[in-house]
């Protein structure tokens, strides 16, 4: 095992470390928790690091497919060895230019959010002389789980409203360049417990069957979404789902009786569950200060390095590990970054061991929604180094960069 202090000395801080063996374990565990026929799409937005992506297609069992939402993500997965045919392209704002690129690079399956989205896909596909397979994303009118991050049941830029889809279908069927190939549901994110996850999947499967019966929508591929949980910047273990396989099989047997023969093919999506616990953010204490009765531990990783979806208040208090304890006791402290904004907060009132400048702090479970979800450009600070390890040895070390491209001018 490589010591944090050694990695910090070699590569500097802040530093992300991704353990590829943990990704392999997460993929293996999720595969075992699902019926064998179910396909897994990896949500690339969670972590598009090249070695992370390669880990999704290597090792035992069927490789993951990929769920992407930009041509940048498409380039990343192609570089990692996936093909355009392995991709499900999603998102409510697909432009004509990116569709031309995606279809030109072999993407043939799209999640469609609206009639305008479908027409745009069809027009570009027709220009390329191909037909795009389209899943209609459905914004269900109700939900089963009452906890977790809701992604359905309210007015939204995502998906067709379930209650109006039947009236829209005749127009959708006539769009040239596309074929309606199925349905896509994504009702929740990061389910709080297995019961909530199972309840939502049951609700989705029953809703898809009802939609097919009432509207005649052909469903060759049914993406029932995700919701698989994981701790974020907090100590804790990736949740297990011992009941999920049997419960999914029962629900599918009732509502999709031919699913075991691939009619329809069933798919799920997962991002954070597959990669969250592979990552650790290592940073260094720059200063410890007291202000009006509170202690602030200032570290060299702020929301520019660990933004929690760009610092939108979704951070959880991190745990703290030290390379060498010492100095005065900090007790409870607020961990902040080095940026000149009061929003640069990593964790509030965190229980701290004694720390002093130069100590190393490690924030666990940061393999998902880390560096690429952060305010990387803010204040022009360099991105953290990202190190991938396997079997206790460093596989790669890299740093994201940015540069300006001059357009014309004299």
Residue 278 is a catalytic residue: no
Active-site option among 64, 87, 134, 340? 340
What is the pairing mode between strands 132-139 and 109-112? parallel
Q: How far apart are CA 347 and CA 298, in angstroms?
A: 11
List the end-to-end C-alpha distance of the chain, in Å, as a whole number.
55
Q: Does the CA dihedral 35-41-43-49 come out positive or negative?
A: positive
- Within 8 A by CB and 6+ apart from 276, the residues are 46, 230, 231, 232, 238, 365, 366, 367, 368
Kindly tell me the burial class for residue 37, based on how many C-beta atoms sit within 10 Å of its own C-beta (0-12, 13-18, 19 or more): middle
- Give CA 140 to chain center in angstroms: 22
Tell me the C-alpha distance between 8 and 283, whole Å: 8
SS3 275: helix
* Burial 246-258, CB ≥16 within 10 A → b, else e: ebbbebbeebbee
In which element (H, E) is residue 378 found? none
Quick one: which H or E segment has residue 76?
A: helix 71-79
The set of residues, in sequence order, having a beta carbon less than 8 Å from that of 190 and lying 6+ positions away, is 148, 149, 227, 228, 229, 230, 232, 272
Rounded CA-CA distance 94/227 in Å is 24
Could you give the residue numbers annotated as active site?
340
């Amino acid at each position: 095992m490589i010591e944090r202090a050694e990695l910090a000395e070699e590569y500097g801080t802040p530093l992300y470390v991704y353990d590829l063996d943990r990704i392999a374990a997460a993929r293996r565990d999720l595969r075992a928790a699902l019926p064998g026929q179910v396909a897994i799409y990896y949500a690339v937005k969670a972590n598009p690091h090249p070695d992370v992506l390669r880990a999704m297609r290597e090792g035992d069992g069927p490789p993951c497919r990929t769920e992407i939402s930009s041509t940048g993500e498409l380039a990343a997965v192609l570089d990692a060895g996936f093909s355009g045919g392995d991709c499900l392209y999603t998102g409510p704002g697909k432009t004509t230019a990116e569709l031309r690129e995606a279809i030109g690079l072999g993407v043939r399956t799209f999640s469609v959010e609206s009639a305008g989205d479908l027409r745009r896909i069809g027009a570009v596909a027709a220009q390329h002389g191909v037909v795009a397979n389209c899943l209609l994303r459905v914004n269900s009118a109700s939900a089963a789980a009452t906890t977790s991050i809701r992604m359905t049941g309210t007015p939204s830029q995502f998906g067709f409203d379930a209650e109006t889809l039947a009236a829209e279908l005749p127009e959708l069927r006539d769009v040239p360049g596309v074929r309606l190939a199925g349905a896509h549901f994504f009702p929740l994110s990061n389910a709080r417990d297995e019961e909530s996850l199972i309840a939502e999947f049951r609700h989705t499967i029953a809703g898809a069957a009802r939609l097919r019966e009432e509207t005649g929508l052909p469903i060759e591929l049914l993406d029932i979404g995700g919701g698989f949980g994981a701790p974020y910047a907090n100590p804790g273990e990736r949740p297990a789902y011992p009941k999920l396989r049997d419960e999914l099989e029962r629900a599918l047997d009732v509502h999709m009786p031919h699913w075991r023969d691939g009619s329809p093919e069933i798919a799920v999506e997962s991002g954070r569950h597959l990669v969250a616990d592979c990552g650790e953010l290592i940073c260094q204490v720059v200063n410890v200060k007291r202000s009006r009765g509170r202690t602030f531990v200032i570290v060299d990783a702020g929301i520019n390095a660990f933004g929690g979806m760009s610092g939108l208040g979704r951070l959880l208090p991190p745990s703290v590990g030290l390379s060498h304890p010492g100095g005065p006791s900090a007790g409870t402290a607020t961990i902040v970054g080095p940026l000149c904004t009061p929003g640069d907060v990593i964790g509030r009132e965190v229980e701290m061991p004694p720390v002093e400048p130069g100590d190393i702090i490690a924030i666990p479970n940061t393999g998902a929604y880390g560096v690429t979800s952060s305010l990387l450009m803010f204040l022009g600070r360099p991105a953290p180094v990202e190190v991938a390890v396997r079997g206790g040895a460093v596989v790669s070390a890299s740093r994201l960069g940015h540069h300006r491209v001059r357009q014309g001018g004299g």
